Structure 1
Amino acid sequence: MIILTKYLCFFPNDFLCFAWVLLSTKKYQYNFSRSRSNSSRHRRPDGHQRGRSSRHGSDYVDSSLSRSSVASHFATPPIDVGDFENWVNILAKVDQSEDVEYAREKYKSFLQRYPNCYGFWQKYAEYEKKMGNIGEAKKVWEQGILSIPLSIDLWLGYLSDVKSIKTFPPESLREVYDKAIDIAGEEYQSDRLWLEAIGFERAIYIDQLCKQTGKADCRRIGVLFDRLLSTPTLHAQSHLERYVQYLNTVEPHLLLSDREYDDILRMTCKALGKSADELMHQVQLSYICQPTENGMLNIVAEPGEGTYPITVNSTQHDPTALQFMRTEIIARRNEIFLKNMEECKLRSAFELNIKRPYFHVKPLDYPQLVNWMAYLDFEIGQNNEKRVSVLFDRCLIPCALYEEFWIKYARWSWKITKSRTKTRDIYKKAKTHCPTSMNLALSEAGFEESMDNFDAALRILDSFRQEYPGYVLLELRYLGTLRRKWDNEKHPPATDYVVNQYESLIKDSQSSPNLHSFYSLKLARYQSKAKSNPSLAQKVLKKAMTIDPFNLQLYSQYVDVAYSSDSMTETDVIRAFDVALESNLRLEDRIRFSQRKLDYLEELGSNIHAIEDHRDYHYHLLGQLPDSVTIRTRFVNDPSRATLVQQAMPPQQAMVYTPQMQPPTMNMMPMMQMQPPMAFVNQAPPAVQLTLIEPTTSTM
Structure 2
Amino acid sequence: MGRDRSSSSDTDDYYRSSSSRKREDSHRRRDDRHRDSDRDRDRRRRSRSRSNSNRHRTTGGSQRSRSSRHGSDYKDTSLMTRPSVASHFGTPPIDVADFDNWVNILAKVDQSDDVDFAREKYRSFLSRYPNCYGFWQKYAEYEKKMGNIAEAKAVWEKGIISIPLSIDLWLGYTADVKNIKNFPPESLRDLYARAIEIAGLEYQSDRLWLEAIGFERAVYMDELCKGNTNASCKRIGVLFDKLLSTPTFHAPSHFDRYVQYLNTIEPHLLLSDREYEEIMKMVCKQLGKSIEELVQQVQLSYICQSGENGMLNIMTESAEGTFPITVNSLQHDPTALQLIRGEIVARRKRIYDKNMKECEIRAGFEANIKRPYFHVKPLDYPQLFNWMSYLDFEIKEGHEERVKILFDRCLIPCSLYEEFWIKYARWTWKTYKSKTKSREIYMKAKIHCPTSLNLALSESGFEESVENFDDAIKILDNFREEYPGYVLLELRYLGVLRRKSEKEGHGAPSEFVMNQYESLIRDSQSSPNLHSFYSLKLARYHQKSRRDPKLAQKVLKKAISIDPFNLQLYSQYVDIAYSSESMSELDVIQSFDVALDSNLRLEDKVRFSQRKLDFLEELGNNILAVEDHRDFHYNLLGQLPDNVTIRTRFVNDPSRVALAPAMPPQQQMVYAPAIQQQPAMNMMPMMPMQMPYMASSAVQLTLIESPSTN
Partner of 1:546: 561
The TM-score normalised by the length of structure 1 is: 0.86
2:120 is the counterpart of 1:105? yes
Q: Is the 8 A contact 1:630 1:673 kept in 2?
A: no
In structure 1, what is the Cα distance between the partners aligned to 2:423 and 2:644? 48
In structure 2, what is the Cα distance between the partners aligned to 1:473 and 1:672? 42
Q: Is the 8 A contact 2:23 2:95 kept in 1?
A: no
Match of 1:131 among 146, 150, 168: 146
Partner of 2:513: 498
User: Aligned in 2, Cα 1:135/1:579: closer, same or farther, shift over 3 Å?
Assistant: same
User: Aligned in 2, Cα 1:54/1:368: closer, same or farther, shift over 3 Å?
Assistant: farther
Q: Is the 8 A contact 1:280 1:316 kept in 2?
A: yes
SS at structure 2 position matched to 1:50: helix
Deviations 1:613-652 (A, max 9, x none): 000000110010122212121113999x9999xx9x99x9
Match of 1:251 among 266, 279, 283: 266
2:570 is the counterpart of 1:596? no
Deviations 1:357-382 (A, max 9, x none): 11111111111110111111111111
Report percent identity of matched pairs.
70
Match of 1:410 among 425, 428, 438: 425
Partner of 1:356: 371
* Offset, 1:269: 1.2
SS at structure 1 position matched to 2:366: helix
SS at structure 1 position matched to 2:25: coil
2:217 is the counterpart of 1:216? no
User: Aligned in 2, Cα 1:642/1:408: closer, same or farther, shift over 3 Å?
Assistant: closer
SS at structure 2 position matched to 1:221: helix
Match of 2:100 among 85, 103, 106: 85
Q: Is the 8 A contact 2:245 2:355 kept in 1?
A: yes
Q: How does 1:150-549 map to 2 (within 5 A)?
A: 150-549=165-564
Partner of 1:693: 703
The TM-score normalised by the length of structure 2 is: 0.84
In structure 2, what is the Cα distance between the partners aligned to 1:360 and 1:48? 20
* Offset, 1:669: 11
In structure 2, what is the Cα distance between the partners aligned to 1:513 and 1:175? 66
In structure 2, what is the Cα distance between the partners aligned to 1:500 and 1:48? 36
2:584 is the counterpart of 1:583? no
Deviations 1:432-466 (A, max 9, x none): 00000000000000001000000110110000001
Match of 1:564 among 559, 562, 579: 579
Match of 1:57 among 27, 31, 44: 31
SS at structure 2 position matched to 1:51: helix
Q: How does 1:627-638 map to 2 (within 5 A)?
A: 627-636=642-651
In structure 2, what is the Cα distance between the partners aligned to 1:133 and 1:155? 20
In structure 2, what is the Cα distance between the partners aligned to 1:560 and 1:50? 42
In structure 2, what is the Cα distance between the partners aligned to 1:274 and 1:557? 93
In structure 1, what is the Cα distance between the partners aligned to 2:309 and 2:344? 34
Partner of 2:82: none
SS at structure 2 position matched to 1:187: coil
Q: Is the 8 A contact 2:301 2:325 kept in 1?
A: yes
The AA in structure 1 aligned to 2:48 is S
The AA in structure 2 aligned to 1:675 is Q
SS at structure 2 position matched to 1:311: strand
User: Aligned in 2, Cα 1:417/1:55: closer, same or farther, shift over 3 Å?
Assistant: farther
User: Aligned in 2, Cα 1:679/1:557: closer, same or farther, shift over 3 Å?
Assistant: closer
In structure 2, what is the Cα distance between the partners aligned to 1:167 and 1:51? 55
Partner of 1:68: 48
In structure 2, what is the Cα distance between the partners aligned to 1:310 and 1:385? 49
Structure 1: give runs of 5+ residues left out of the alignment: 1-46, 659-667
* Offset, 1:306: 4.2
User: Aligned in 2, Cα 1:175/1:321: closer, same or farther, shift over 3 Å?
Assistant: same
In structure 1, what is the Cα distance between the partners aligned to 2:579 and 2:306? 91
Deviations 1:128-164 (A, max 9, x none): 2222222221111111111100001110111111122
In structure 1, what is the Cα distance between the partners aligned to 2:215 and 2:571? 75
Q: Considering only aligned residues, what root-mean-square deviation do their CA atoms show, in Å?
A: 3.1
Q: Is the 8 A contact 2:421 2:442 kept in 1?
A: yes
Structure 2: give runs of 5+ residues left out of the alignment: 1-20, 50-65, 68-86, 695-700
The AA in structure 1 aligned to 2:170 is W
Q: Is the 8 A contact 1:230 1:340 kept in 2?
A: yes
Partner of 1:44: none
Partner of 2:15: none
User: Aligned in 2, Cα 1:444/1:685: closer, same or farther, shift over 3 Å?
Assistant: closer
SS at structure 1 position matched to 2:31: coil
Comparing 590-599 and 479-488, the one that deviates more: 479-488
In structure 1, what is the Cα distance between the partners aligned to 2:312 and 2:514? 79
Deviations 1:328-355 (A, max 9, x none): 1111111111111111110111111111
In structure 1, what is the Cα distance between the partners aligned to 2:43 and 2:210? 59
The AA in structure 2 aligned to 1:52 is S
The AA in structure 1 aligned to 2:412 is I
